[in-house]
Structure 1
Amino acid sequence: MEEKSLDMVMVPLGLLLLATYHPWLLFTIARDPKRTVIGLNAQARERWVRAMMTDTTQNGVLAVQTLRNNIMASTVLATTAITLTSVTSVFVRLTTTTASASLFLYGNKSPAAYTIKYFTISLCFILAFLCNVQSIRYYAHASFLVTTGEAGGAPADYVARSLNRGSFFWSLGLRAFYLSFTLFLWIFGPIPMLASSVAMCCLFFFLDTTTEFFHVSATVKEVGVTEEV
């Protein structure tokens, strides 16, 4: 296989692995939420909202401080994303063709290939910035609603939905950072990019599933039933 053809085969294969994993994750969240960390945390946030809204006089400050911490986390990621976008654009303008052609790169070394690589990395950072901005929007909206209480006219389900949307956008922004790392390795060739895609799918499966947690829970329940018998 020619050296330039590696990018045409390995890069789409790596992106296909990541694109196949996430529909499976969405299907699992919709079908069995407790099997995933995202679905389990969404249910926990719904219970937390109901607990906070039962007595806003005592829990209002705690709820606002918790949401403020989430807003700060989203703000840090949004600032980091837009900063890296600016740094990448400056680096593209300053880097010449001769400096870009590295001897350690095994793959397509054309200027057009470098332009595509840096453009996709910048696109990931912009996507991460937009997702985190939306996350801040929903968190700020939820911080107003959670302090009104159920008697204030805002149902707990609506507040929980706003809070979960903020968390979902935060997760999307974080995954855009993960994808940018894989695309960054593409600068050094399609082989590191494909290896990173495989490793990233394994890492996502480890971080997204709760199989071990429920295995331990089932074991505890079995022990409890045995003791009762």
Structure 2
Amino acid sequence: MASLVEVLCPHCEQNLKVPPAVFGKKVRCKHCELAFVAEDPAAKPAPRAKGAKPGAKAAPPKPKKVIKAEVLEPAAKSPFLDDDEGVQNVEIIKEDDIPRCPHCAKELDPPDAKVCLHCGFNNLTRERAETKKVYEATPMEVFLHLLPGILGVVLSIVLVGLNIWFITNVREWMVDSIVDMDEKDAAGRPKFYIHPAAFMFAIGIISARLVLQFMRVAYRRLILNPRPEERVKK
């Protein structure tokens, strides 16, 4: 016959019957399946009664209820023993059975976790993720970071508009200028030493190159890298 002692589950507050041999070991409650360390109830200090004066001797603790019962072996299919048979109703967790991180050796939570919460080790890729503490970017920092991209878009739109305006008015600007031949063609339009299309082509090539550079800056800053550089906490 072995002695069983009643201990209280800290989660569901159910009385569990365990042998003294498991005190100081981690067990799992049958009712709520919470894992906790079983402690000897007799070893805990008795709480001081309300209204008792400091220094007064506390009343001796009441003896805990000890149940005499035969400890039976658990069934193969269940880690818990039948409570009705007067035996323990907790599962003893062995240290070897606790899943641990292969990198830091700390307990995995949950046991099937793919990434360790303590060191960031990935159990699938077998690589450790780099972790660092950074300051959160302020709205002003975000705006200043995006400002070059915003300016690139605005300047590109302005250049396209200027090109359309130039193409529309370049022929009128050339009249009575040094390139005007003071003659008219068969259609009655003024003739020039340099055709207006040459000016349109030159201005178009220069503007297209500038627009390409502006849009490249806007794409990199607004699409590829919209967040400012992280400031690591020291």
The structure with higher relative contact order (CA 8 Å, sep 6+) is: 1
**Larger relative strand fraction:** 2
Structure 2 length normalisation: TM-score? 0.32
What TM-score, normalized to structure 1? Answer: 0.32
Name the structure with the higher helix share.
1
